[in-house]
Amino acid sequence: MEPRRKHSTALHTCHPCRRAIPYRIYAVIHTCGIIALMYHHVLSLLTANNTLITYLLLLSDIVLAFMWATTTSLRLNPVHRTEYPEKYAAKPEDFPKLDVFICTADPYKEPPMMVVNTALSVMAYEYPSDKISVYVSDDGGSSLTLFALVEAAKFSKHWLPFCKKNNIQDRSPEVYFSSKSHSQSDEAENLKLMYEDMKSRVENVVESGKVETAFITCDQFRGVFDLWTDKFTRHDHPTIIQVLQHNETDEMMPNLIYVSREKSKVSPHHFKAGALNTLLRVSAVMTNSPIILTLDCDMYSNNPTTPLHALCYLSDPKINFGLGFVQFPQKFQGINKNDIYASELKRPFDINTVGFDGLMGPIHMGTGCFFNRRVFYGPPTSLILPEIEKLGPNRIANKSIKAQDILVLAHDVAGCNYERNTNWGSKIGFRYGSLVEDYYTGFMLHCEGWRSVFCSPKKAAFYGDSPKRLTDIIGQQIRWSVGLLEVTFSRYNPITYGLKSLSLLMSLGYCHYAFWPFWSIPLVVYGLLPQLALIHGVSVFPKASDPWFWLYIILFLGGYAQDLSDFLLEGGTYRKWWNDQRMWMVRGLSSFFFGFTEFTLKTLNLSTQGFNVTSKANDDNEQMKRYEQEIFDFGPSSSMFLFLPMTTVAIVNLLAFVWGIYGIFTWGEGPVLELMLASFAVVNCLPIYEAMVLRIDDGKLPTRICFLAGLLTFVLTGSGYFFLK
């Protein structure tokens, strides 16, 4: 894997962030403030008339203190790295082989043309083409996806030479031909016509829902589509592995292989982790490249030199022994100016990641990750061999991928019963046991002693699509919450298990995500309890004349100021930060809240959480128009209960705010902190009030949700009289 190069030339450098020292100083100050706050709670418990209020506030502050500690662990040693891919010197034959895994599962939520553009963009890497093998896992078992990839293989014979000859930077055809700066040459215009023709054929097939014989132009693949019979379903079908392009017959072209693993209703398939392990085995049989890139089907390559950036680390003999993977950040296209739904996920994908990078390295984010194949076979110092020799990470695959015995074995290892009584999913490969297989696998790899590196070049490596509907975003994060709780309440909890193998700071960093859903506890308590107390004239916080009053002010303002500085220092804006912190509250009262509920029901065997693919397709022009105008869209099809908690909290805070303003003129020294908290919540809830009262479009809050929220507010206000008085 190490090329011939000048040893005096550094391929990468690492720079500590300047904010580390002031953050460490503030961490000491804030810690003292938290200790003082806990002391205040103890005093309150000893003197309070209503201990229920104090216990709830204490519980919330313990959760907040713990989550602040997990965030602070990632602020103490952040680093930024720089790579110099132009210094990577190797002959084409000396470049390591690269296997690319692309996963898709539903041709309607993940349109086949999206998969095609992702595949073509990585096939066109500025890298020796005969060293690249692209494997597309179709977990939906769709003939529509296969048809699209057959068309892509034909188009690639024209697209790849064009990109490399003209040094094209946008190597996704859709992106290139949509840009105003693309070449107007005859060659480019002819290619554009070819692409539009391919796109039209694929979209016609998707619209019809079936690959008719008339659409199939390649005789060699005609028989494959006969496998889709009436008995063929996405949950019950045989293995299909089809070599669509072969670099031995198509000179200097990458391999392109379609894989749809065997499915059976009576066999567990372990969602995306199972699909990735199937690709791991199939690729081991066929090409067994030492480097693996995993991609979601919507995450196209935006930088043709991305593999060279990864090789700057993976080929460095000083660090490559224990280096398990190089993680690139997720970047998204089409997000509106101020990112009203916080779809960039800037904190987990940018801010926290540079903090992890100063410890043992970033977590695995599920896509845009270059793996050392060896990482999936046990700790760096202890190789765990698979059940058959041909799946080993160090074997040299020197047979043709179209050889009959290779294809037979590839079909065998993609069978639905192959993993029984093996180490796959437990000690080998991607790990089973959580819906968030990326987080869980990365955690286990770090516990085994592997390190990782965060690589964020100036020109983004990948761009993907993020959901543009609020319901899709909340649904996606409900699934994440359930998966994270599966790890939290397992034997592999980052506290109990992580501390045995990781440093304290790294364990706390992993806790930041594992305990994500616990944010719902303080958000519910602080979203309702002080406001109900304000309505009933009960004080739950110190008054303005009490010295403890200033402790709350300092902790609140200090925490928010540090959060804002994090955001701005990593390239964010004030408006995006405001929307991000508002969506944190929305998630706490929806995704995290219902994630907890779903996990509890699943634990009690009252519900089974499936892996619902987040839709990347959106044909609702009116909804997209509202999104571009930065108008919250709650939608007429909203779940009756999905927005109920946040709507209820919004109404309670508005009542408390109005009552508190009235009280300023009648109470004298009133509950100032309670009123400040209600005011802050009301400002954050302005889009909800607008959707309840002022709007008449389809994105307003449904009347039934408003009615139920009003009814629940009445119940809570009435109950508060008995519990708070």
Instruction: Please tell me the distance from the alpha carbon of residue 256 to that of residue 151, in angstroms, as a whole number.
Output: 12
279 and 135 in contact (C-beta within 8 Å)? yes
Q: How far is CA 156 from CA 181, 206, 250, in A?
A: 21, 21, 11
* SS3 readout for 216-253: CCCHHHHHHHHHCCCCCECCEECCEEEEEECCCCCCCC
Other Cβ atoms less than 10 A from the Cβ of 293: the count is: 27
Q: Which helix (H) or strand (E) holds 222?
A: none
210 known member of a binding site: no
Question: What is the layout of strands, in order, in the sheet containing 451-454?
Answer: 240-245, 255-260, 132-138, 98-104, 291-296, 369-372, 323-327, 451-454
Instruction: Please tell me the distance from the alpha carbon of residue 526 to that of residue 556, in angstroms, as a whole number.
Output: 13
Tokens of 699: 């994105």
Q: How far apart are the first and last CA of the chain?
A: 71
367 and 296 in contact (C-beta within 8 Å)? yes
Instruction: Please tell me the distance from the alpha carbon of residue 97 to that of residue 133, in angstroms, as a whole number.
Output: 8
Phi and psi at 428, nearest 5°, equal: -125, 140
| Residue closest to 626 by CA, chosen among 536, 687, 565 | 687
Tokens of 521: 């506890």
Phi and psi at 237, nearest 5°, equal: -165, 160
Q: Which one-letter DSSP state was computed for residue 237? A: B
Tokens of 17: 């962030």
* SS3 readout for 263-290: ECCCCCCCHHHHHHHHHHHHHHHHCCCC
List all residues 6 or more positions away from 47 whose beta carbon is below 8 Å from its beta carbon. Answer: none
109 known member of a binding site: yes
| Residue closest to 138 by CA, chosen among 45, 242, 214, 32 | 242
Fill in the amino acid letter for 124: A
Fill in the amino acid letter for 689: Y
316 known member of a binding site: no
One-character DSSP codes across 649-699: HHHHHHHHHHHHHHHHTTSSS--HHHHHHHHHHHHHTHHHHIIIII--STT
Instruction: Please tell me the distance from the alpha carbon of residue 382 to that of residue 186, in angstroms, as a whole number.
Output: 57
139 and 145 in contact (C-beta within 8 Å)? no
Residues serving a catalytic function are 139, 438
Instruction: Please tell me the distance from the alpha carbon of residue 20 to that of residue 71, in angstroms, as a whole number.
Output: 13
Give the bridge partners for 658, in sequence order: none
Q: How far is CA 311 from CA 3, 61, 216, 275, 316, in A?
A: 10, 45, 40, 26, 8
323 and 314 in contact (C-beta within 8 Å)? yes
Fill in the amino acid letter for 90: A
Fill in the amino acid letter for 711: L
Helix (H, G, I), strand (E, B) or coil at 319: coil
List, as residue ranges, the binding site for Mn(2+): 272, 296
Which residues are documented as binding site for UDP-alpha-D-glucose?
109-110, 139
- Pick out the residues of the known binding site: 109-110, 139, 272, 296
